[in-house]
Structures are given as C-alpha cells and as structure tokens.
Amino acid sequence: MPEFIVFAVSLTAMLFGADWLGNAATYIAKKLSLPRILIGATIVSLATTIPEIVIATISGASDVPSLGIGTAFGSPIVNIGLIFGILLLFSKIEINKAAYIRTIQFLLIVLALVFIFSVGGHLSQLAGAVLITFGFAYLVVEFVIGKHEESFLESLETRFTRLINFFSARENYHQIFYLITGSLLLFGGGYFLVGSATALADILGVPQIIIGVLAIAFGTSLPEAFTAINSIIRKRLQLAAGNLFGASILDLTIAAGVASVFGGASIDTRGLYLTVTTTAVITLIGLFSIFGKISPKILGGLLIIVYFVFVFWFAGLEF
C-alpha cells in the first residue's frame, strides 16, 4: 500500500527532523550562554512538541483540521498514560514537587478551556487563538517563575559578540546544518504525512480524527517513549517527568489552537468527552505519584491500563 509507505517514511523523517532541530537549537542556545531556565522552559519544551505543531499547522492550512486536532488531543494521553506510566512502573522518579504541581494545575486549566471551547462540537478560530495565547503564556510564566535560578540580564553587547563568534567558528557549522536540515525534514515530512494520513483514512473508511488520535499521536511520541526506556535501562533516577506534562500543555494549546485557527474545526462530542475525561483522569493519577500514599508501580500500571482502555474505546466509537 503506497500510502502506508509514504505515511511511515514521512513520520520517520519528522522524528529525525525534530530530533536534529531540537538538539541543534539547544546546542546553539548553550553556546550563546542563554539561561538554563530559558532553554528548559522554552526550547526543550517546544522541541518535543514541534511534530504535533507542524502537523496541526499543515492540516489546518490544508483544510483537514481533524488530523491536527486528533494528534493534539491524543499526544497527551500517550505522554502521560503510556510513557509516564512506564516510568512509574519500572523506575524511581525524583520530582520537583512545586514545578510538577504547578504544571499539572496548568494542564487541568487547559483541559477545562478545551472542553468549554469545544462543547458545542466546534473549535472556533477565536478559541484557537485563545489557546495559542495561553500556550505561550504558560512558557512565559515558567520562565518568570524559574528566572531566579540564573540571571537573564546580560549585556546586549556581550550577547551580540557571542552570536558573531558562534557563526564565525567552523566547528559550529555542523549544528547549523542540523538546524536547517532538521527543519526541512520536519516540514517536508509533515506535509506528506498529512496527505498520506488523509488517504489512509479514506481507504480504511475511518474518520481522520482516529488516525490522528491513535496513529499519529503515538508516532510523534516515540522519541519520548525511547527516552523513557533508555532511562530505565541506564537506571537514571532523576527524570524530567514534568516535561511530559509540559509538552501535553503545549499540545492542547498551541498545536490544537493552530489546527483550528485557520478555519475552525469540528469535533465529535463523544470523542471530546472521552478524550478530555481520560486526560483529566490520568493527570490526577499522575498527581498522586508525588504524595507517596500509593505505590508508584501501582499508579504506573493503572496509567497504562487506562491508556489501552482508551485506545480500544476510542477506536470503537462510531463517528
């Protein structure tokens, strides 16, 4: 099936592109001596969400917003239900409680906004714009709150000099290459992924949102899954679990907003209720993991069970 091959190749290109772009952007930011909090709260968080944002942008511009909406709604469930569940089940996680609780509070607020905006079965352009604004506001708040960790006030002359020195050093050229190539792979792969996913939905006779929620959302979360497995194998105890929740916030705000801002997006209310409810449930389960009242392994197993129940339930809905 040619469409399936195009789908697989496009998804692979997007994953490589996002990895190269994210690594190169982080490297350049460090070379320019940007504060760690700025790198962590913006560049890294955005890098992990770039595939979903690109898919949302292309699908919205191509008048198939349901693909982007499905991907944006499905990715948080993969991140928290499956990947965070695996982390809890197979490793010991040390979490910054204050940042973790703050992120979960943001996520619950976002879920409420998404539900309110979509309850009528349609996510309007205005609602999309509000979600995008809220997503960037979250990044700004994270930066402002964590700013005390490292001073951001550096002289403009020094920053400009570092920028010139960076582009003058030959050893940095390969990072510029990865930055440009990663961007091309990401957007090129996204363009063909949306087209092939639309064709697959027609061939299989399923709604595009199912392809987005179940297939593309899982595919774009593979890097996080591999990172989790690698962390378990290497027995790294300090894992940035909060990043999974932060990425989920950006999925539901920037990615979902971009998908609908072009011309609005229709959303089946049953799928909406199931997705929002599942995300809220697994988010609350994740919150219990920091209080020590219930074994993390039990919570991890429960998250994974909820994820697979959602997959089979959502796949069985008649849209």
Q: pLDDT tens string for the chain (319 positions)?
A: 577 788 888 888 877 877 777 677 767 666 666 555 455 555 666 777 888 888 888 888 888 888 889 999 999 999 999 988 988 888 776 666 777 788 888 999 999 999 999 988 889 999 999 999 999 998 888 767 755 544 444 444 444 445 445 445 566 677 778 777 887 887 788 778 878 887 887 787 888 888 888 888 888 887 667 666 666 665 554 445 666 888 899 999 999 999 999 888 888 888 889 999 999 999 999 888 777 678 888 999 999 999 999 999 998 876 5
Q: Is 239 left (phi over 0), alpha (psi -120 to 50) or beta?
A: beta
What is the Cα gyration radius of the chain? 19
The contacts of residue 86 (CB under 8 Å, 6+ apart) are 225, 228, 229, 232, 300, 304
pLDDT (0 to 100) of residue 154: 44
Distance CA 79, CA 225 (A): 8
Helices and strands per DSSP (H, E), number in the chain: 16, 2
Q: Is 205 left (phi over 0), alpha (psi -120 to 50) or beta?
A: left
CATH number, domain 2-315, options 1.10.3720.10, 3.90.180.10, 1.10.287.3510, 1.20.1420.30: 1.20.1420.30
pLDDT (0 to 100) of residue 316: 83
Distance CA 23, CA 79 (A): 20
Distance CA 189, CA 193 (A): 6
pLDDT (0 to 100) of residue 152: 44
The contacts of residue 101 (CB under 8 Å, 6+ apart) are 287, 290
Handedness of CA 163, 168, 169, 173 (dihedral sign): positive
Q: Using CA atoms in the order 161, 167, 170, 172, what is the torsion angle rounded to 10 degrees? A: 100
What are residue 123's DSSP bridge partners? 265
Tokens of 300: 């991890």
pLDDT (0 to 100) of residue 222: 75
Q: Using CA atoms in the order 270, 276, 282, 283, what is the torsion angle rounded to 10 degrees? A: -170
Q: Where are the domains of the chain?
A: 2-315
pLDDT (0 to 100) of residue 237: 43
Q: What is the DSSP letter of 294?
A: S
Q: How many CA atoms lie within 13 A of 205 on its CB side?
A: 1
